[in-house]
Amino acid sequence: MRVLFVPLLAVSLAGCANSPLFKGSGQSGTDAPIAQDADGQLRPQSRPGALEANAAIPVVSAQTPEQFDTTTAEERLAAAAAPEDAGGEKLLGETVASLGDPTKPGFWLETPLVSKPTIGRVHFVGSGKSAQVDLIPIDGPPTAGSRISLAAMRLIDAPLTDLPTLQVFAND
């Protein structure tokens, strides 16, 4: 009986893949666009609006920090510039940061020091350099660590394999 049950169950469930019950459960139905890259691999594509409209996503074959950091020279200059109203900044505290997802473009810091998305600045005392970043809230106590974007880490000259201590400021 068991010998017949397993193949019969497999055949029965195979027809359920297109069932509305399984839509949106991470299956690759019509809700997740898929494209083939240059290597012939199928890769899920981000949905419109998933990232900033002008943020470039690194190529699949990226291996070096330069290949993963897709920010433009103009974006780096803007992020390195002092805030327009430096007197309107508020020091949120210090955090130890690790390198965040290198495939996520832009200048950002995921940190428990904020409770809602905010524009701010990080300062690395080790180099004396700062970067304007999007502060993105994550769960955890304020003493927990943070994750910083590759582009921001490179801009402030923090070693990519270190855990730099950063001063975090929010724009008021």
Strand 165-171 to strand 118-124: parallel, antiparallel, or no bridges (unpaired)?
antiparallel
The more confident residue out of 101 and 78 is 101
- For the chain, the domains span 1-32, 73-171
Alpha carbon distance 119, 79 (integer Å): 11
Residue 31, helix vs strand vs coil: coil
With a cut of 50, say whether residue 33 has pLDDT above it.
no
| pLDDT single digits (tens) 108-146 | 999 999 999 999 999 999 999 999 999 999 999 989 999
Residue 133, SS3 per DSSP = strand
User: Which has the closest alpha carbon to 157: 129, 122, 121?
Assistant: 129
Cβ neighbour number for residue 121 with a 10 Å cutoff? 24
Choose the CATH number for 73-171 among 3.40.50.300, 2.40.40.10, 3.30.2270.10, 3.90.1640.10.
Answer: 2.40.40.10
- Given a cut of 60, whether residue 45 has pLDDT beyond it is no
DSSP-based three-state secondary structure for 108 = strand
Note if the pTM is more than 0.85: no
Alpha-carbon span 72 to 33, nearest angstrom: 27
- Confidence at 165, pLDDT banded by 50, 70, 90: very high
Q: Assess whether pLDDT exceeds 60 at residue 18.
A: no
Tell which wins on pLDDT, 51 or 139. 139
| Structure confidence by residue, pLDDT tens digits, 153-164 | 999 999 999 999
Res 46: pLDDT: 37
Range from 43-52, 82-91, 114-123, 153-162 carrying the lowest mean pLDDT: 43-52
Q: Mean pLDDT over all residues of the chain? A: 75
Structure tokens at 18: 């297109």
Contacts of 113 (CB under 8 A, 6+ apart): 92, 93, 95, 135, 142, 146, 168
Please say whether the beta carbons of 58 and 106 come within 8 A: no
Say how far apart CA 113 and CA 95 lie, in whole Å.
8
